[in-house]
Amino acid sequence: MSIKLKLIILNFLEFFAWGAWLLSAGAYMSVTLNFTGIQIGAVYGTLGIAALFMPALMGIIADKYLNAERVFGLSHLILGGLLFWLSGVSDFNTFYMIVFLISMFYMPTIALDNSISYALLEKNGEDIVKVFPPIRVWGTVGFILAAWTVDLLGWKVGKEQFLVSAIASVILGIYAFTLPAVPPEGASEKKTLTQRLGLDAYSLFKNKKMAVFFIFSILLGAALQVTNIWGVPFLEDFAKDFKGYFAVEHSVVIMTLSQISETLFILTIPFFLKKFGIKKVMIMSMLAWVLRFAFFGIGNPSSGLIFLILSMIIYGMAFDFFNISGSLFVEKETKPSMRSSAQGLFMQMTNGFGAIIGAYASGYIIDFYTNDGIKDWQTIWFIFAAYSLVVTISFAVLFKYKHNPDEDLEVKH
């Protein structure tokens, strides 16, 4: 088996295990377990908390003590056990504790997946920039197929979604031990603990432009978490008035149109960056979030189905144009010696602090606009749209950046 095929399987299973429950767990907690909005937000918030420190800690282990593929494999074997356990739990406190443990072991595997892929491709003499993206796209395919499997088999509000994820994690955990070795690198031993944890990147906040960028990364990270949590529960609530409609019966399939859109919009980024520059591209992303939420607010599974579909399509621009362009901006604006730490800081802002704020704040808003079990979804989505619009206008005013068509895609070496 070629190294490319091995890594395709690795990436496919990595995100298949996540896709089996990430979009549908909110509906399961809401419909089956009757958790409150704040409780559901708190459960999803564990992903953000784990993203703040666990990737760095697992990275230290893989850098210094144990082969990366073994750390990855052990993590997924533990995840398999935790997910099996979760499938039999219904009380909030225990459920929260288990998902918190799942988050601590899963979030680092995303970074380890990249590290293993890069190391093996480099060892095999491959051009990483050219070869890795087509491999990584199979992760998105895995995510989508897992979500479809759970939806089409009628498990989106059942515990079976966690069993599907558990089985995938166990298979991946065993599979990881068959990969070529990725031993700890001696160069990592020269780093201080502060550098290994990525804390040295916080010095970038001394630069006003970078500080503004990272603050808005938090605010956009909060928006991303909102649809991860509440997209499927929102569509499920239409069952009262639109029972039998495709968007209700297969709400997870509808939501995965967002991931399909994401894979398409990522291909347009070089053109938009060259034509408009990073600032305008990121403003486009923020305006796309306004439309994402607004279309949810006016859509429904019948006459308003087109607005739901448009919301899914615009998601690709909303997600990619900030996350991918933002990552390129960080790469361009930081010196090579701090590049990895700066990318880690960007992830902390979006998937860490942003995710935590988005999870808890959205849960509070959901509960505030819920009366006798009925959620005022239109008001809720319009509030999120208004929030995104305020963020967009503020960013346009506060973020100072001059576009140079010849430099916006260049990275310092």
CA-based torsion, 231, 232, 236, 241: positive or negative: positive
Average pLDDT per block of 10 residues along the chain, 413 residues long: 93 96 95 96 94 81 84 96 97 97 93 86 84 86 95 96 98 97 68 65 84 93 90 92 92 93 85 86 95 96 95 93 82 71 81 93 96 94 97 94 61 43
Domain locations along the chain: 1-183, 194-413
pLDDT for 413 equals 41
d(CA 30, CA 25): 8
Could you tell me which CATH number the domain at 1-183 has?
1.20.1250.20
Domain 194-413: give its CATH code: 1.20.1250.20
Tokens representing 289?
Answer: 């979030």
Q: How far apart are CA 51 and CA 45, in angstroms?
A: 10
Give SS3 for 370.
Answer: strand
Please state the pTM of the whole predicted model.
Answer: 0.85
Name, in order, each residue with C-beta under 8 angstroms of 390's C-beta and a sequence gap of 6 or more: none
Instruction: Note whether 57 and 111 are within 8 A (CB).
Output: no
CB 83 within 8 A of CB 25: no
- In angstroms, the CA 111 to CA 58 distance is 9
Calculate the CA 27 to chain-centre distance: 18
Model pLDDT, residue 190 = 63
Number of DSSP helices (H) and strands (E) in the chain, helices first: 19, 2
Question: What pLDDT is recorded for position 291?
Answer: 97
Which residues make Cβ contacts (< 8 Å) with residue 11, sequence separation at least 6? 113, 117, 135, 136, 138, 139, 142
pLDDT at 127: 82
| SS3 at position 374 | strand
Amino acid 258 reads S
Three-class DSSP category at 375: strand
**Tokens matching residue 184:** 């700890």
Q: What is the pLDDT of residue 412?
A: 45
Query: What CA–CA distances, in Å, run from 310 to 61, 291, 293, 307?
Result: 44, 9, 11, 5
Q: Identical fold at 1-183 and 194-413?
A: yes
- What is residue 198's predicted lDDT score, i.e. its pLDDT? 62
Q: Please, what's the b/e burial string for 52-62 (b: 16 or more CB within 10 A of its CB; e: otherwise)?
A: bbbbbebbbbb
The C-alpha atoms of residue 285 and residue 270 are separated, in whole angstroms, by: 15
Give the CA angle between residues 322, 325, 330 to the nearest 5°.
110
